[in-house]
Chains A and B, each alone.
Chain A
Amino acid sequence: MKRRRGGIAWWLVFLLAVLYFFLPLVATLDFALKAKPPFSAFTNAVQDPKFFSSLLYSLVIGVLTIVASLSLIVPTAYWVQLKVPRARSLVEFVTLLPFVIPAVVLVFGLIRVYSQPPLPFTHTDIGSSALLVAGYIVLSLPYMYRAVDTGLRAIDIRSLTEAAQSMGAGWVTIIWRVILPNLRVALLSGAFLTLAIVLGEFTIANFLARPAFGPYLNLLSQQKAYEPAAVALISFGLTWLAMIAIAFIGRDTRTRIEIGGAH
Chain B
Amino acid sequence: MTATAGQGAPLARPVRRLSWSWLGLLPFFLFAIFFIGAPITYLVIGSFQDKTGQTTLQNYADLATPSISNAFLTSIEVSLVTAVIGGIFGFLLAYAVILGGLPRVLRDALMTFSGVASNFAGVPLALAFIFTLGQLGMITVWLKGIGINPYQSGFTIYSKIGLELVYLYFQFPLMVLIIAPAIDGLRPEWREAAENMGASSRQYWQKVALPILFPTILGTIILLFGNAFGAQATAYQLTSGLIPLVPLLIGNQIAGDVLHNPGLGYAMAMGMVFIMAGSIIVYTVLQRRAERWRR
Spell out A's residues near B (CB within 8 Å): 2-3, 6-7, 9-11, 13-14, 17, 20-21, 23-28, 30-31, 72-73, 75-76, 79-80, 83-84, 86-87, 91, 94, 96-97, 99-113, 134-135, 137-138, 193, 196-197, 200-203, 206-207, 214, 217-218, 221, 228-229, 231-233, 235-236, 239-240, 242-244, 246-247, 255, 257-263
**How many pairs of residues, A versus B, come closer than 8 Å at their CB atoms?**
267
Contacts of A30 in B (CB 8 A): 131, 138
A242 CB to nearest B CB, Å: 8
Q: Are A102 and B254 in contact (CB under 8 A)?
A: no
Which of B21, B89, B129 touches A79 (beta carbons < 8 Å)?
B21
Can you report 12 A-B residue pairs in the complex whose CB atoms are below 8 A from each other? A14-B96, A20-B168, A23-B139, A79-B21, A112-B42, A138-B35, A201-B122, A202-B237, A229-B131, A232-B127, A255-B180, A255-B181
**Interface presence of B172 (CB below 8 A):** yes
Q: Report the nearest B residue to A234, measured CB to CB.
A: B124
B239 CB to nearest A CB, Å: 13
Q: Are B116 and A10 in contact (CB under 8 A)?
A: no
Which of B21, B28, B106, B251 touches A14 (beta carbons < 8 Å)?
B106
Q: Are B139 and A258 in contact (CB under 8 A)?
A: no
Q: Are A138 and B123 in contact (CB under 8 A)?
A: no
Q: Are B101 and A6 in contact (CB under 8 A)?
A: yes
Q: Report the nearest B residue to A2, measured CB to CB.
A: B201
CA distance A197 to B226 in the complex (A): 18
Q: Write the B251-271 contact mask toward A (1 if CB under 8 angstroms, else 0).
A: 101110000000001000100
Which of B29, B111, B127, B247 touches A28 (beta carbons < 8 Å)?
B127
Q: Are A108 and B131 in contact (CB under 8 A)?
A: no
B123 CB to nearest A CB, Å: 5
Interface class of chain A by DSSP = helix
**Interface presence of B59 (CB below 8 A):** no
Q: Are B230 and A103 in contact (CB under 8 A)?
A: yes
Question: With A10-B96, A214-B233, A243-B116 in contact, is A263–B122 under 8 Å at CB?
Answer: yes
Contacts of B34 in A (CB 8 A): 134
B136 CB to nearest A CB, Å: 8
Q: Are B250 and A108 in contact (CB under 8 A)?
A: yes
Q: Are B32 and A102 in contact (CB under 8 A)?
A: no
Q: Are B25 and A110 in contact (CB under 8 A)?
A: no
CA distance A76 to B31 in the complex (A): 12
Contacts of A106 in B (CB 8 A): 36, 39
Q: Report the nearest A residue to B262, measured CB to CB.
A: A112
Q: Report the nearest B residue to A111, measured CB to CB.
A: B254
Q: Are B96 and A247 in contact (CB under 8 A)?
A: no
Q: Are A258 and B128 in contact (CB under 8 A)?
A: no
Contacts of B111 in A (CB 8 A): 255
Contacts of A84 in B (CB 8 A): 18, 21-22, 24-25
CA distance A258 to B32 in the complex (A): 23
Q: Are B119 and A101 in contact (CB under 8 A)?
A: no
CA distance A26 to B138 in the complex (A): 9
Q: Are B254 and A243 in contact (CB under 8 A)?
A: no
Q: Report the nearest B residue to A96, measured CB to CB.
A: B280
Contacts of B233 in A (CB 8 A): 201-203, 206, 214, 262-263
**Interface presence of B58 (CB below 8 A):** no
Contacts of A87 in B (CB 8 A): 22, 25
Question: With A84-B24, A214-B233 in contact, is A14–B127 under 8 Å at CB?
Answer: no
CA distance A205 to B214 in the complex (A): 38
CA distance A50 to B177 in the complex (A): 35
CA distance A25 to B35 in the complex (A): 37
Q: Write the B163-206 contact mask toward A (1 if CB under 8 angstroms, else 0).
A: 00001111010100110110000000000000000000100000
Question: With A3-B101, A259-B177, A263-B121 in contact, is A243–B96 under 8 Å at CB?
Answer: no
Q: Are B132 and A23 in contact (CB under 8 A)?
A: yes
